[in-house]
Chains A and B, each alone.
Chain A
């Protein structure tokens, strides 16, 4: 199960995660890394449903949120009696809560697969989200429930969990444990059965497996890990609000997992990192980030439905066949026009957003700052230039892209030829 190469890779990832805060020392980067760690666990737990069992859920945030709320209530309940050790184990409480929620709700949702499951998860998600606002006693209303992760006076091996960097260490530890556990699960008979249920339910049933039971078990376990992620959020932010279990959170985890790639175990990890960075870093740079994100997502669905992981896997295949080198010049050649196209498009979008924000309108002659440049949005000039760059980018991309595609198809043919 754990080959040496795989062990090395796991170790390298862990070392990298531990080393990162030594390089990026700022509080912002640390918060970003913490958020990524939490989302990695959450996205992996989601992929247990979508990727491994073929269950498309629109309400996964329910388990995440319940885990977070129960952890927070527990934290507040233990109060001064607890210590750092108890706090460190709190995500387990979140996990158990997620598991219990899975036992109760999963019994209803997993009776059917396919569209029925998708719809029923949507319905239950909406119901739970609505309840969260109706019961302020349990969910804290608009202000949510807050707590303090520094309890008692002692420390666990010198950790009090107060400073963010210690919290990051805790998140990495939990994320690592959860990731290993989830990976191990894919190698168990249950994990294999889940794949069979996903690929061919009739056949799995015929061979003697109870598909409903497999789905139910997978949902319960996925709820467990989503709950762990929820517990980590509660500790990390020291506040839990109704937002953690609403449709928006469910949508984000779906997008992450899909963008990363549902067909590979590590896909959701890439997706969680990428989407969180986009949300927070690009979101901090431009208001148009939702638009970019939407475009990027549609692009992925249409061009690389296997997600980023599948693209990486493809390149790895080429590399192993010694064909990767052949594609490098083509990649480089096509990158340039794509960059031109992106520059033009981003320019157009940014200027439109600047106009929408009311800057430069009615202000007459004054220049507006767009992407670090002072532009006269009232005049035609910048628009014409950006449009020209975009059009040139499209033309170039089509031209060079056609050649790249031809080269790609040829290489692919060689690759498959080699194999057969």
Chain B
């Protein structure tokens, strides 16, 4: 008994020593909503990064003998607050930041980072974007100080339309989306690329609705039904997606839904049985894509954090490992050196080989189209968020096939 106590004390003292002084740290500021309505999404991401840093980097020797650490900064989802938090992080000596929720905040951060770096060339800051998908961020607005680890809207739509090109059962498509930039972009790229690849497919309707304002989607479903669509394309996320799918099931609509974010935190739960066999998603990975070690990683993660968070972002792991690798190859934690090492990097990620394109700092990675079906323990081994339903791969798109040209003209320091 006494021994055990002593042992514990010694361990605790050791832990304090290690975390306190023995190992210096490379710190990355995670600037995302940690309070308010989107806190669950922000929290989920932070947990993912912390877990990835611990298991994939620190337990394997860290970066340059130091520990990699992610520290949360609450931007409350606001572009302006993001800038204040960026300043707070810079004050505390952070030279790396990451953000993902909302392209508005991403625009604001890129802008602020560009200006900061121009005005303080000796204290530059590097921005890793793990989820903001506005294509302009790696086209017109591209920056040397910004790296994106998620496929952008245009690439995702390319992958989806490639899939539709082969599926001849698709004849009539209805587009519905939230009335803001992302929804507009999804509609635009759907029309553009379908016209190229499947000119025979008819767009039978296109609707935009204010974001987060619709409670009852039944009238929209009635309209989709009246249009005779067999496929619905939507960029909706969160409740706007769950409610749409639920209303479709209630009215007995048979059409399939192509979505971007049906796997996002809380959505599988809210859709439940109503999404079965009807909802498709495009992601870089899902629970039933075979991997070397992520299956165990995901199981441990879910065991530790469910139901507050489920493992969803494979790209968080990819990003953490790539950043660590870049620091190790550059033998430096200077943002510019890290940025140069990241450029053109090829990395064997868990979903296949990925490539960070030098010209626009957009990560090219394999993508998967999957459908929400009953978990059967075989091809659909894992269910999603304890619902009994999981994702089954319908098609995979290689890294090469998801590439799109960029209009980026990058200013290099």
A residues sitting closer than 8 Å to B (CB atoms) are 26-28, 30-32, 35, 130, 133-134, 136, 141-144, 146, 148, 162-164, 233, 237-239, 241-244, 280, 283-284, 287, 289-290, 356-358, 361-363, 374
One of B163-171, B175-183, B319-327, B336-344 at the interface: B175-183
Interface pair B304/A363, CB less than 8 Å apart: yes
The residue in chain B whose Cβ has the minimal distance to the Cβ of A291 is B35
Interface pair A243/B181, CB less than 8 Å apart: no
Residues of A within 8 A of B56 (CB): none
Question: Quick one: which of B84, B211, B309 contacts A280, CB cutoff 8 A?
Answer: B84
Q: Chain B nearest CB: distance from A251 CB in Å?
A: 12
Interface pair B35/A146, CB less than 8 Å apart: no
Q: Chain A nearest CB: distance from B258 CB in Å?
A: 21
Additional A-B contact list (11), CB under 8 Å, known A243-B80, A280-B81: A28-B84, A130-B210, A141-B181, A142-B182, A143-B181, A162-B119, A238-B115, A239-B83, A241-B80, A287-B39, A361-B304
Interface pair A31/B84, CB less than 8 Å apart: yes
Q: Is B202 an interface residue (CB 8 A)?
A: no
Docked Cα-Cα span, A140 to B211, in Å, equals: 16
Leading 9 A-B pairs by shortest Cβ distance = A141-B181, A143-B107, A358-B308, A142-B181, A28-B88, A358-B305, A28-B91, A27-B87, A31-B87
Docked Cα-Cα span, A11 to B88, in Å, equals: 30
One of B71-79, B285-293, B348-356, B361-369 at the interface: B71-79
Q: Can you list 29 A-B pairs, Cβ within 8 angstroms, ordered by A?
A: A28-B88, A30-B87, A31-B84, A31-B87, A32-B84, A130-B213, A133-B180, A134-B210, A136-B180, A141-B181, A141-B184, A143-B107, A164-B87, A237-B79, A238-B115, A239-B80, A239-B107, A239-B108, A241-B78, A241-B79, A241-B108, A244-B80, A280-B84, A283-B76, A284-B73, A284-B85, A287-B74, A358-B43, A362-B303
Interface pair B179/A133, CB less than 8 Å apart: yes
Question: Quick one: which of B34, B90, B104 contacts A143, CB cutoff 8 A?
Answer: B104
Interface pair B79/A239, CB less than 8 Å apart: yes
Q: Is B269 an interface residue (CB 8 A)?
A: no
In B87-133, which residues have CB < 8 Å from any A CB? 87-88, 90-91, 102-104, 106-108, 111-112, 115, 119
Residues of A within 8 A of B102 (CB): 142
Residues of A within 8 A of B306 (CB): 362
The residue in chain B whose Cβ has the minimal distance to the Cβ of A280 is B84
Residues of B within 8 A of A289 (CB): 35
Given contacts A130-B210, A134-B179, A283-B35, contact A358 B309 (CB under 8 A): yes
Interface pair A237/B39, CB less than 8 Å apart: no
Dominant secondary structure at the A interface = helix
Interface pair B210/A146, CB less than 8 Å apart: no
Given contacts A241-B80, A284-B74, contact A144 B107 (CB under 8 A): yes
The residue in chain A whose Cβ has the minimal distance to the Cβ of B178 is A133
Given contacts A133-B211, A289-B35, contact A141 B84 (CB under 8 A): no
Interface pair A26/B35, CB less than 8 Å apart: no
Q: Is B18 an interface residue (CB 8 A)?
A: no
Docked Cα-Cα span, A361 to B307, in Å, equals: 10
Q: Is B328 an interface residue (CB 8 A)?
A: no
Q: Which of A141, A290, A357 neighbours the largest number of chain B CB atoms within 10 Å of its CB?
A: A141
Q: Chain B nearest CB: distance from A143 CB in Å?
A: 4
Residues of A within 8 A of B119 (CB): 162-163
Residues of B within 8 A of A27 (CB): 87, 90-91
The residue in chain B whose Cβ has the minimal distance to the Cβ of A355 is B308
Q: Is B20 an interface residue (CB 8 A)?
A: no
Residues of A within 8 A of B87 (CB): 27-28, 30-31, 164
Docked Cα-Cα span, A243 to B74, in Å, equals: 16
The residue in chain B whose Cβ has the minimal distance to the Cβ of A132 is B180
Q: Is B413 an interface residue (CB 8 A)?
A: no
Docked Cα-Cα span, A239 to B106, in Å, equals: 12
Interface pair A141/B180, CB less than 8 Å apart: yes
Docked Cα-Cα span, A141 to B308, in Å, equals: 31
Residues of B within 8 A of A148 (CB): 115
Question: Quick one: which of A130, A283, A356, A363 contacts B308, CB cutoff 8 A?
Answer: A356
Question: Quick one: which of A237, A357, A362 contacts B83, CB cutoff 8 A?
Answer: A237
Interface pair A243/B35, CB less than 8 Å apart: no
Residues of B within 8 A of A244 (CB): 80
Given contacts A28-B87, A290-B35, contact A144 B108 (CB under 8 A): yes
Residues of B within 8 A of A164 (CB): 87
Q: Is B47 an interface residue (CB 8 A)?
A: yes
Q: Is B36 an interface residue (CB 8 A)?
A: yes
Q: Is B22 an interface residue (CB 8 A)?
A: no
Docked Cα-Cα span, A238 to B111, in Å, equals: 8
Q: Which of A28, A289, A374 neighbours the largest number of chain B CB atoms within 10 Å of its CB?
A: A28
Q: Is B10 an interface residue (CB 8 A)?
A: no
In B16-70, which residues have CB < 8 Å from any A CB? 34-36, 39, 43, 47
Docked Cα-Cα span, A186 to B78, in Å, equals: 34
Interface pair B79/A136, CB less than 8 Å apart: no
Residues of A within 8 A of B104 (CB): 142-144, 241-243
Q: Is B404 an interface residue (CB 8 A)?
A: no
Residues of B within 8 A of A290 (CB): 35-36
The residue in chain A whose Cβ has the minimal distance to the Cβ of B75 is A283
Docked Cα-Cα span, A64 to B112, in Å, equals: 22
Q: Which of A27, A141, A142 neighbours the largest number of chain B CB atoms within 10 Å of its CB?
A: A142
Residues of B within 8 A of A28 (CB): 84, 87-88, 90-91
The residue in chain B whose Cβ has the minimal distance to the Cβ of A243 is B78
Docked Cα-Cα span, A241 to B182, in Å, equals: 15
Residues of B within 8 A of A357 (CB): 43, 308
Q: Which of A26, A134, A163, A239 neighbours the largest number of chain B CB atoms within 10 Å of its CB?
A: A239
Q: Chain A nearest CB: distance from B303 CB in Å?
A: 6
Interface pair A146/B107, CB less than 8 Å apart: yes
Residues of A within 8 A of B103 (CB): 142-143
Residues of B within 8 A of A233 (CB): 80
Residues of A within 8 A of B74 (CB): 283-284, 287
Q: Is B240 an interface residue (CB 8 A)?
A: no
Residues of B within 8 A of A242 (CB): 104
Residues of B within 8 A of A163 (CB): 119
Interface pair B211/A237, CB less than 8 Å apart: no
Q: Is B162 an interface residue (CB 8 A)?
A: no
Docked Cα-Cα span, A267 to B35, in Å, equals: 28
The residue in chain A whose Cβ has the minimal distance to the Cβ of B16 is A374
Interface pair A142/B111, CB less than 8 Å apart: no
Residues of A within 8 A of B193 (CB): none
Interface pair A358/B304, CB less than 8 Å apart: yes
Docked Cα-Cα span, A146 to B88, in Å, equals: 21
Docked Cα-Cα span, A374 to B19, in Å, equals: 13
The residue in chain B whose Cβ has the minimal distance to the Cβ of A357 is B43
Q: Is B239 an interface residue (CB 8 A)?
A: no
Residues of A within 8 A of B210 (CB): 130, 133-134
Residues of A within 8 A of B12 (CB): 374
Docked Cα-Cα span, A238 to B80, in Å, equals: 9
The residue in chain A whose Cβ has the minimal distance to the Cβ of B37 is A248
Residues of B within 8 A of A32 (CB): 84
Q: Is B158 an interface residue (CB 8 A)?
A: no
Q: Is B284 an interface residue (CB 8 A)?
A: no
Residues of B within 8 A of A26 (CB): 91
Q: Which of B35, B47, B83 neighbours the largest number of chain A CB atoms within 10 Å of its CB?
A: B35
Q: Chain A nearest CB: distance from B254 CB in Å?
A: 31
Residues of A within 8 A of B150 (CB): none
Docked Cα-Cα span, A363 to B311, in Å, equals: 16
